[in-house]
Structure 1
């Protein structure tokens, strides 16, 4: 299970369509076990499990695959039929073109395109009505889902060489490189994802039974952030998360560098090039484990603090407040409140 957490910005964004259609979002948040009060703190985060519950609740409530965020409704089953339409294609390039053509048949849908550039790069782009998608959540989801669907179709993760966004950098811009797994740029004409055009000749390796199994878990599986191990930061984060499950004492930088066959200095430089540091990764692993533990609610806070390597409860409380803007106790209480009738 993905243990990483999701910024509250994405929680607010995914609710926007339901709010615009007049749905009461409080019961939806309660169904997802997300405390409504968290939405008021920019530092708050939720687990991937909580976010998936919210996504499912919104999907049922809106009866719209775009969750009310588009200019037109995408009826449930639209994405599945597009996937079935691509399976018979000779290669990935033909499959993407068929998918782009398919969505182009629906008035008011997002404008999708695939362009092969002269430098051997393929660029998939999305242009959506930003008035209806003010947080750009739908636009970004479409890019993520298309990239991960393409990777699934060919049975290998397709590395992105870059991603561009047709708007200024948001306050949570630091989330983007991890989410897309590549360098990112803001202020572009469209929202795009670029990759080596040679992938377009890759044959499709999936059949209908595999597609049916994938669709039972979609779009939540395609949207979940997964570490492919293609960046040094992902490798370090995966190493630290595994170590934390075994012991509260996380390894030192030198130990992790040795596991990756790097010198400590080289590891520091490579992490810096990926706009992070060893300490930041340690904090994020502990933060996500703390939020998941509190949301699950089965472990005393003192025991959770000890398991995460904090010598004193007060140190854990200070760290948690710094990470999320609230205390562990307040987070747990609000996460497990009984909804008022």
Structure 2
């Protein structure tokens, strides 16, 4: 499942822009999905929360026009196969439709896109964007990137007849007039849109056979995508490792996550959980694995979970599952013999 994620290509573009804008590496280090190993995998997907946190950092550093700045760094190919979908159809309208049929290759599939071609007017409309994540820079980015790809696909300096944003105008917007080559820009609209006149039938010079290959590759890319572990996954992994090493404590786990204990407590609160609840969850999961996969005596299992004796484990396991560790093992044995 790739819902709630974006591609590593888009994430790399955002990260590079953030660093160029003066965002300190340590401000990015704790965000899920930004390790070199994950970012180097073109099939990996990064949580959308990470992308929008980077957007916030870029906007805070650069202010007005930050979305245009990100789009300026998106050279053809930087967004992988998605960039080439615009020329996978014989006409511009067909190419745009292909790009947004497979827009999940680059962004969250929850973002909806409609391509409306009336014969005279060609409108690309973004819908379904989570209002919690809408910032002016993201809207500026998607429309300016779209204009750039359309111009590259046709080889013409096309100018939109209408540019529409969902966010409200923040003072002067001459930078947008310059970027889109038009003053016909509206704000506070229901949808984010870009409209062209007599553009849908423009040729792209596409090779039909190559176009099919590009579309097939985009489909395979989406099907093979892998989701990067989120912050909560990293927390559980760090806690489980600390438990196995008999080092499970708030200080130790916070250090492994490169944050202070107070910050870890705050992050847990933001996730509507607590250190105690997470310890219980990790002990439960590890207890289940040890009881299922090993023949260790109950006393030994208890010791590996940090309990003083088997009675403490029995009380905890009954609280978690409603039965004893011995009953759990007997049920597993019965199932295996059936």
When normalised by structure 1's length, the TM-score is 0.38
| Structure with max Cα Rg | 2
When normalised by structure 2's length, the TM-score is 0.38
